[in-house]
Chain A
């Protein structure tokens, strides 16, 4: 597995060890790109900062909280309304964002009194919200404001409020990943164990590393509820602050995004003896295996099997319809951290696409190990990619589609590669059985877009077809399919609703009889 030095990076040879090509018969023991090292300045990397890793990725999906950043206004503004972590409480956490508005005089004289007044004013504006998170920024870290002491003081004076402080300035670490770590540890240190609810349930889990992008969490909650599993807290998508203070009461931590949230699972295991189980909500097989694992842990396997059977029967014919039409389409799987390994193998096995490249902006070597293991031979793996390398890779690999962020998606667009938003999804949620079909549908719609086809035509040189007033994606996708596949009566495209989440909020679930041996006293 040779290292790969991009032409555009020949002048910065240290980049060579950040990219590898997975050779025939090779595995990750032969070479692995470097990961989680400081970015080379001026490369136009895609990385964000540790503040956004803490606040934007993990903190703000918490739904019943005033999220206040202590610093100048930009950090707050820039991370506001750029991600799709919805919630079932009318999206308070998306709609409202708070900045202490630090100015020059505060840099000189300190901003603690400003922050105190801020906190009180924010609670006064929203009298029904009694919980707050405060995020340090570069500026407040550098002037050394003691936010924790101030939070303690306020909580003492106002016993009905509770405040969490996360000290994760933007410069802390090579990328947003540093912030993931800091907020994980800060939460368990400050908040876990500070409430002790009486839990009346047999099977209690924390659902960790799940951010409810377009409703992912709510889809997964549906399965858990159908299995009679009580989800004590979600860290953090659609999650509730006080539920997360009680994480220590769960029997099991079910971990989805290990990149951003394994730290708190590991600490919960060490401090409270709660086992960690890594699962995967993406893909029929990985999801089925995950539900089965969880159910086996609690000895309720038949409940998981019932769900898997029902959901597979309902959605598999639709997934397979897309698979038949996506076979060997080339994909650049270029997400942020963990989706490269969540998706790499599952999209190949279940949708038929070939992953020709994986990259990670803020992942560590562990993510690359998993990602490279799961992608196809010949695939190019890139750590901390930059603008020119991404372009060079796309020019070389000629992918049919790439999965990446919104802005890099615009770069791809200009060289006529369609993109799907890997962070916030196109028409998600993409988790769950139905969600996976939605993902396949979105890929299909991207690759076979008639408008995309038009973008390849040079009307000044090419033969202009004059016999067609329109083309459909079906005409494009089915042109080379065998009659048998095209007309397979068992397969059909997606039949779900545009909104497949809202109805779950009022859904009634069956009551399961309590287990004979009462395990509710943790």
Chain B
């Protein structure tokens, strides 16, 4: 009965869990209002990321490319950055924020995007766009370092460090959500509202679930403003829900402006949500209201209906963004489930010293494996060749074939989910998220029992 922390030993990746850094930077950039990112690289680095976002959200997001071609690869392509900025600004008069996001190709050829931003600031923006508020922000996200997770983390920090400016104190907190869905943002805003707390939300992406209206064009967009970003320096404190997606920005604000930072835990499950509320209360002096005791009670009531009767001892594999994966594993422990395999899809060295992982390691009373730098073959190989028995998989759609081929029920969580409808609308955070997750896991197991005529199938009734 041990928990082992392993690392993928194979040289290559078979069925990746994460994509590369520029995707994370692009995801951060679509969270800002009047922002269109320009990705400096081949066109595929944008086209496919836009497709991925549209597969997940069933919405289209605007992101531009410098369209790197051979000549640029040989002679340098900074002229294409200049042209892209010019063309974008001319045609999108509302755009104010333009991150210049690098890729593997343009990092290898050594294009100096910081230099070209300086040049554009002194030249083009003064000459042609004088009087217009435009912010060009170089973001270095070479694809051969980290993953989409670190790309997101870097981009959030770069946006914050670019805009944050000391001014008179603002009675708000910074809430850095990490890589979440619109449903999570709604759940978080609900908690803030009943706690009577105002926040600079990084990022306000509730409108990623955009309506179809009888008139006009309601494109999905982020709503975090330049002012929100500026005021991060003047906030009461920062709560970053995720260590690996926004933690860097929280640390930056603490170091640079003395804004106290609380990083984590990801509010998945009752216990972590309690902790978040405690942090919110401590930071703002606002009490936790009776209505949240009530809301928490409804969640606990729902969980009690299913936990020891149906969920206990179910063996679960989890792959997802790292904070999400860890949060889900913690919640599974509370639900008496056995998270036997946790896959973290990149080589971030900080996982080894993550206290949440250490706690799992110390307290696992069953065989648990945590694999870093993992791919989905780490999951399938264990099932196919090494006798791993599972009752449930928690993960995103890229791993769907493992569930389908080995007949293991699966609950879709995280990003991307493109084989189920509307998942982005459901929160996994907060008490609402806890209820949604636990009930969805239970219902998924029930359906599976019925299809397979599993031992208990006739017993999945109250």
- Chain A residues within CB distance 8 Å of chain B: 8-9, 11-12, 38-52, 68, 71-82, 95-104, 106-107, 114, 117-118, 121-122, 125, 137-139, 141-143, 169-176, 387-388, 391, 405-408, 410-411, 413-416, 455-458, 462
Contacts and interface: CB of A to CB of B under 8 A. Distances in A.
Contacts of A50: 42
Nearest to B216: A415
A65 B274 CA distance: 50
Interface residues of B, number: 79
11 contacts: A41-B66, A41-B67, A42-B64, A45-B65, A47-B67, A51-B44, A74-B21, A77-B16, A98-B14, A99-B12, A455-B212
Given A138-B104, A458-B214, A41 B87 contact: yes
Given A52-B44, A102-B104, A174-B69, 4 more contacts: A12-B91, A39-B65, A96-B14, A103-B145
Interface in B41-71: 41-45, 47-55, 58-60, 62-70
B144 A76 contact: no
Nearest to B22: A74
Contact of A81 (B63, B217, B397): B397
Contacts of A72: 20, 104, 143-144
B260 interface: no
B44 A44 contact: no
Most chain B beta carbons < 10 A, residue from A42, A172, A405: A42
Contacts of A71: 104, 143
A172 to B, nearest CB: 6
Interface in B394-409: 397-398, 401, 405
B344 to A, nearest CB: 14
B86 interface: yes
A78 B19 contact: yes
Contacts of A117: 11-12
Contacts of A456: 214
Given A51-B42, A52-B48, A414-B217, A139 B144 contact: yes
Interface string B265-300: 000000000000000000000000000000000000
A414 B69 contact: no
A163 to B, nearest CB: 14
Given A71-B104, A72-B20, A138-B103, A118 B73 contact: no
Nearest to A114: B11
A137 B19 CA distance: 15
Interface in B186-225: 210, 212, 214-215, 217-219
Given A11-B90, A71-B104, A139-B144, A100 B12 contact: yes
Given A49-B43, A388-B91, A98 B12 contact: yes
A516 B140 CA distance: 69
A41 B104 contact: no
B12 A42 contact: no
Nearest to B384: A125
B381 interface: yes
A476 to B, nearest CB: 17
Interface stretch (B77-85, B118-126, B170-178, B234-242): B77-85
Contact of B13 (A99, A139, A406, A455): A99
B372 interface: no
Interface string B1-37: 0000000001111111011111100000000000010
A121 B54 contact: no
Nearest to B143: A72
Contacts of A102: 104, 144
B81 A142 contact: no
B60 A48 contact: no
A42 B214 contact: no
B322 interface: no
Contacts of A174: 67, 69
A388 B10 CA distance: 45
Contact of A410 (B36, B54, B85, B405): B54
